[in-house]
Amino acid sequence: MLRHLLQLTWKRKSRNLMLSLEILLAFAIVFGIAAFGLRFWQLYREPIGFDGTDAWSAAMQFSDVPADAISPDTYDLLRRSLLELPEVRAVGFATHSPYTLSTWTTSFKSPQTGARVDTDTIEVSDDVAAALGVHLVAGRWFDATDEGRSELPAVLNRRMAAALFPGRPALGQRFTSAEDGPPRTYRVVGLVDAFRNKGPFMTPTNFVIARFAPHTSQSRVRTILLKVAPGTPRAFEAKLNQRLKAVRNDWSYEIAPLASMRASLLKEQLVPLAVVAVIAAFMLVMVAFGLFGVLWQNTTHRIPEIGLRRALGASAASIYRQIVFEQLLLCSLAIAAALVLLVQLPLTGALGETLNWQVFAGAVLLSMAVIYLLSLACSLYPGWRASRLAPAAALHYE
C-alpha cells in the first residue's frame, strides 16, 4: 500500500507542492516556538548558584558623587547600623544585585596558554555568601584571612575553572587580569557549580566572583544585600530606608526583596515567549484552514477516481484510510525535508548552546506531534466525505 501511495503522490507532485511547502513552513514555525520554550525550561531547571530566600537588596543611588569618593568607613558604618535591626541577620555589599540585567564583563589571562578568557564578574564582600545563600562545591568563601594578601582571592564557577585550567584542579591556582593597567594576580579559593545573577533564564557563562574589601579594593560597590528573618513583611522597607537615611541622608535607596525582583524579572522575560506563542498559534490556525481547504478541493477533484474504486469493490473504510494516509505521507515527506534543513543548525553550532542537541530533539518530537495531529484533523472530514460517496453518483459526477 505504501508503494501505491508513493506513486499517487508522485503523479500529483505539482498539485502537492504548495501543500508540502505549507506543511514545511508550519513545521518550522512550531519547531522555533518549541525550541524557544524548551530552552527556557532547560535553563529554568539548571542551578543558579544561590538561594536568595529572605534576602533583600538596597541599591545606593548617588549620581552626583563619584564612586571612588565613598569613604571605606562608610561601608562599616552601614553594616553595623543595619545589623542593629532585629530583622537583619547578615549584611553584605556587591557591585550589583541579583535578578537585575546588570553585567560587568572583564578578561583574565590563562596561566597555561596566556590566552584571554572573557567572563562576567562581580565583586562582593565577605558576608554576601551568608546573605544570598551561595552554594560552594569546593574550597571556601572569602574571610578576614584574605585581608592584605598580595594575591586577590576569587571564587570561580565550573565553566570558568575549565576555561582557565583545562584538565587541572582549579583550587589554589593563580591567574591574572588582562585589562588595561597594572596586572592583578588572583588565587582561586573556592568553586561554585554556577552563578547566574540574572536569574533562572540566564544563559550559563564564565563567572568570577572577586572579593570586595573597602579598605583595600580599588572599586566602590553600590548595592547592599541583606539576609532578614523569615516572614519579614514588605513594610520592613520603610524601616530599612529610615535606617539607611540615618547613615547617609544625602543618598537615595532603591529597596526590594529579591523574591519580588525575581518575579518581576521572570515576568518580563516571559513576555516575548508569550507574544511569539500567540502569533504562532494564529499562524497555525491559518495553516489548518489552508490545509483543510486544499484537501477538500483535492477530494472534490478526485470524485470520479473514488467512484471507480467503489465500483470495483473498494469499501468505504479503504477510501477513508487512503485519503488520511495520503495526507500523513505527504506530511512525512515535508517534515523530512524540513529536518534536513533544520539539523544544520546544531551541526554547525550557528545558535551556540541555545539550540543544543537536547533542545533540538525535544523540539523535533513536539513539532512532529503537532503537525501530524494537525494534518490528521484536517484530513478526517474530507476522508469521511469521500468514503460516503455512492459509486453511481460518483461515476456520474462532472
- pLDDT tens-place string over residues 275-299: 878 887 887 787 777 777 666 666 6
CA distance 299 to 292: 10
Does 210 score more than 90 pLDDT? Answer: yes
**Residue range 64-79: mean pLDDT, rounded:** 78
Please give the Cα distance from 174 to 161 (Å, whole number).
Answer: 11
* Partners of 56 in beta bridges: 226, 257
Q: At what angle do helices 316-342 and 258-301 cross, to 10 degrees?
A: 130
Q: What are the contacts of 256-262 at 24+ separation with CB within 8 A?
A: 256/56, 256/57, 257/55, 257/56, 257/57, 258/52, 258/55, 258/56, 258/57, 258/97, 258/98, 258/99, 259/52, 259/53, 260/234, 261/57, 261/97, 261/98, 261/99, 261/100, 262/52, 262/98, 262/99, 262/199
> Cα–Cα distance between 274 and 313 in angstroms, integer?
52
Cβ partners under 8 Å of residue 1, min gap 6: 325
Q: Which residue has the higher pLDDT, 379 or 236?
A: 236
What's the rounded mean pLDDT across residues 143-152?
Answer: 86
For residues 212-232, average pLDDT: 86
Q: In the prediction, which pLDDT does 146 show?
A: 87
The residue-averaged pLDDT of 125-147 equals: 92
Average pLDDT over residues 125-146: 92
Cα 216 to Cα 26, 53, 72, 81, 153: the distances in Å are 60, 30, 9, 22, 12
Cell numbers 476522508 correspond to 383
Q: Comparing 57 with 61, which gets the higher pLDDT? A: 57
Is the pLDDT at 65 greater than 70? The verdict is no
Tell me how far apart the alpha carbons of residues 244 and 241 are, in angstroms, rounded to a whole number. Answer: 5
Report the DSSP pairing between strands 185-192 and 152-157: parallel
Query: Looking at the predicted structure, is the pLDDT value of residue 98 above 90?
Result: yes
Start-to-end CA span in the chain (Å) = 28
- The three cell numbers of residue 8 are 499517487
Q: How far apart are CA 377 and CA 64, in angstroms?
A: 65
The whole-angstrom separation of Cα 362 and Cα 167 is 32
Instruction: Name the band, by pLDDT with cuts 50, 70 and 90, for residue 5.
Output: very low
Q: Length of the chain in residues, anyone?
A: 398
**Of 17 and 338, more confident:** 338
Q: Number of H helices and number of E strands within the chain?
A: 12, 11
What is the value of pTM for the model shown? 0.80
Greater confidence (220 vs 300) lies with: 220
- pLDDT value of position 68: 62
| pLDDT: which is higher, 140 or 278 | 140
What is the predicted pLDDT for the residue at 10?
A: 47
Instruction: Give 117's strand partners.
Output: 108
Burial of 380 (0-12, 13-18, 19+ CB in 10 A): middle
Q: What percent of the chain has pLDDT over 90?
A: 43
As a whole number, the mean pLDDT across the chain is 83
Greatest CA separation for the chain: 100
Listed range (88-92, 99-103, 183-187, 216-220) with the worst mean pLDDT: 216-220
The band of 2, judged by pLDDT with boundaries at 50, 70 and 90, is very low
At residue 161, does pLDDT exceed 90? yes
Task: With cut-offs at 50, 70 and 90, classify the pLDDT of residue 378.
Answer: confident
Contact in structure between 165 and 112 (CB atoms under 8 Å): yes
Cβ-based burial of 398 (10 A; exposed 0-12, middle 13-18, buried ≥19):
exposed
pLDDT at 381: 65
